[in-house]
Each structure stands twice: as C-alpha cells, then as structure tokens.
Amino acid sequence: MNSYLSDSKLRLKILQVGDEMLRAKARELSTAEILGRETQTLIENMKNTLRDAPGVGLAAPQVGVSVQLVVIEDREEYHKKLSQAQLAERQRAPVPFHVVINPRIIARADTTAEFFEGCLSMAGYMAIVPRSNTLTVEFLNERAEPVKVEADGWYARILQHEIDHLSGVLYIDRMYCRTLTTLENMERFWKDLKASEVRSRLA
C-alpha cells in the first residue's frame, strides 16, 4: 500500500472517472493485512474522506488503493432533502458506519428498483440505475470476522454500487443512458418525479 496512508487524519483524493484504477479488478486482503496498521489507517482515512465528501459509500480503488475494501454509512442527516414518501419508496433508513472487505454476493432477488444514483468518482452527475432490491452478502469486517448481511432497499443499492467498484464497474455501465443528468438539472427538472416518469419523458 502507499506510505501516505500512515497519517490517520488524511482526507484522501477521490479519483474521477477516466482514471485507470477505477477500471481494474481489486485484489482480496489477507487476514494479516486486514489486521495490519496500514489497512486500519486506510479504513480511518476512508471514513474521514467519506464524511467530508459527503457520501454514503466509498471503495478503496476510488482513493487509489486496489484492494477489496469498502466503507459505508448512510447518516440520517443525508435524508433531509427527501420527503417521507420518497424515503418509503426507496426503503431508505440510516445505516451505521461499517467496513466491508472481500465481499461476495451469494443471493440476489430478481425484482429490481430504479432510482437516480450518483458517485463520488463522477462528481456532479446522476442517472437512473436499475438494481436488485434485495441481496445477501458475505464479507469480513475490520477485525477480519465473517459477516453475513441480508439487505434490501437503499442499503442493498449502496452495497451493489460499492461492490461493483471492486470489479472495475461504474454505475454508468448499468445506467439508462438517456437519464444521465447534472445535479443542477436533477434538482431543476426531475427530483419530484418517479423514475418511470423520467424515463418516459426521455424515451
């Protein structure tokens, strides 16, 4: 790993689309590596970077480290711009900070949901992306302990988005291309419409 990870107070640079690192498959971490100082410092720096952005998920390749490590946190304060109806439609609730290492999706529902999605590595843009509404994921936490999670709704979407990063996949590979929009135009034209209505207008 990189020597700059020795400082546990860093806010790391988030790579932007077009950087080769974002298209590479990340390698798994061994137990010894997970418990080692460099990985533990990386986790702390990624947490600081995620909160500073702010965002709900960040994968190690996004900060230039090609390992299978993700940090996730969906804070209640991030929900303020959404109505109760929108939160219910998205099945979105606060998710506490946690670490996902060497994840494997072992089950995925056939049913999908479509919502606008953004990415810290494609700042300033959003698009409608279909994702499985429910999935089961096995991974290791920051103590190298096995964890199994059954996720649905928005949390399932975050997991899929971040796990995609570990295989060099971005949401633009899965989006409905005609729905790509700037954040400014998202707020101006589309924020109060259902995904199906947006797609219908842009068809």
Active site residues: 162
φ and ψ of 167, to 5 deg:
-110, 10
Residues 6+ away with beta carbon under 8 Å from 137: 100, 103, 104, 105, 106, 148, 149, 151, 159, 163
Which of 64, 144, 164, 154 is closest to 99 using CA atoms? 144
CA proximity to 74, closest of 45, 94, 88? 94
